[in-house]
Amino acid sequence: MRQFQDALRRGVGDMKGWIAAREVELQRGLQRSEQALDTYRRGVERAAQSAQSAVVSKAEQLIEAGASRVLPRPAARSTAVSKPPSPSTPTRKPASAQPGQAAQDWLQVATAQTAAAARGAQDAFTLGLGDQAYAGLGAVGDVLQGDDFGASYQNRMAQERARDAADAQNYAAARTTGQVLGVGGQVLVTGALLGPLGAALVPAARGVRIAQTAPLILRETAALAGAGGAAGVVGQAADDVAHWKIGTPGDYGGAIVGGTFGALAARRGNVAQASAAAGLTQSVAQDTLNGGLNAQSAARAREAAAAGATVGGLVGASVAKHMDGLPTKAKEMTGERVSRVRNFVRGHKTGPTQKTAHKLPGGGYTLPDLRTYKNGIPQQLVESKFGRKANLSKRQIQATTELNNYRVDHSVPRDIGAALGLPSSVIFPWDWAMTQPQAEPGAISP
């Protein structure tokens, strides 16, 4: 029994020794990390000082060069005895008395504005969790130094809040701009992550166009942008009627900007992301045109983007699913109708609906769906396709290589979903549910 107790004591002692050794290693690792971080920080500071000196030197040269052009040149030497200046005549100081200090002050202000904008973007992008994560990591490091985690975390969070309040008070415009950009980053990242998920849940949202599909020409792109802007105007008018008010020119200008941007973004096929972009852009543009961005701009932009993505995504997915389930004949008619719209926008007239064969130079015939004319002169042979599984026949592929006036139009269900989903998100009065968040501590009320 005594031998067992002795062995147990030796085991406990070895364990304590092992724990003590690990603690020493942890402390050494922490010290090495702090030294590396300090070295990196000093390197960054030296680089910043060097860059600042270079910028200041260049600014001094520019200021001195400008001053030399503005100030009068000294008069030529004369042999006549010059009179001493009258005591009542003030001595003119050169305009570039302290050019270095002015450039240095400007650089410091610009750096502070940029830092405030970056912190605002980080806060908006992470929904305020960035400050908590930073404070938490710092508190973990303090715990290894023997401090209490809770107290350290509270102190660091207080510092972060104080810095945010100082930014809102001293650099309100820069911080608000950064917050809006952070919300824009949220929309981009969320759309990139959820786009594949939406395509997986709604197969109708998939579909790759035929490689020979004719791209939109400038006239078609302009018409698409104009339709988006018109949808924005209709949406703003509907909002005015719903709220019994008359929108400002800034309201309608922002609606046009948002609708236009959303329509152009919808070309990529992600209607939810395009609708989110439309809502965000419209909100930011309206705030900008109605007096400038304010403390509520970022929150309004986020809610507008979320509402737009929800409405546009649901409507677009529902329409795409319906179109994907149409019978073959109905899909053929839909493809031809889309081609007729393209013909109209291009300024061409669609010929008789009866299809006639066209002989190919390399042999064989193709049967185009439509023929276009302009001023009575034949223009293009159009092959219309619709659906996720549509493809070209052998003769149709031959026509794309042998005929310069052969055009392939291929639309997929998500195109029709975008054509109806985006206007729905723009016209939908999403600001009915808009909250009016409180301004940040220290922020200037709009």
Residue 69: predicted pLDDT: 47
Contacts of 256 (CB under 8 A, 6+ apart): 229, 232, 233
pLDDT single digits (tens) 371-386: 999 998 999 999 999 9
**Contact indicator for 385, 415 with CB cutoff of 8 Å:** no
Q: What is the mean pLDDT of residues 54-66?
A: 56
pLDDT single digits (tens) 78-133: 444 445 555 444 445 454 445 567 777 777 778 887 887 888 777 767 766 677 77
Residue 444: predicted pLDDT: 45
**Contact indicator for 418, 271 with CB cutoff of 8 Å:** yes
Q: What is the pTM of this model?
A: 0.61
Tell me which H or E stretch contains 378. strand 377-386
Q: With 0-12 CB in 10 A as exposed, 13-18 as middle and 19+ as buried, what is 81?
A: exposed
Fill in the DSSP letter of residue 428: S
pLDDT single digits (tens) 231-253: 999 989 988 888 788 989 999 99
Residue 242: predicted pLDDT: 80
Where do runs of H (alpha helix) occur along 202-327? 218-243, 249-265, 271-289, 297-324
Statement: residue 2 has pLDDT above 70: no
Residue 100: predicted pLDDT: 65
Higher pLDDT, 392 or 15: 392
Report the candidate in 390, 346, 78 with the shortest Cα–Cα distance to residue 211: 390
Confidence at 390, pLDDT banded by 50, 70, 90 = very high
Residue 426: predicted pLDDT: 79
Statement: residue 157 has pLDDT above 90: no
Q: What is the mean pLDDT of residues 250-275?
A: 89
Residue 37: predicted pLDDT: 62
From 137-141, 341-345, 349-353, the region with the lowest mean pLDDT: 137-141
Q: Are strands 377-386 and 406-411 parallel, antiparallel or unpaired?
A: parallel
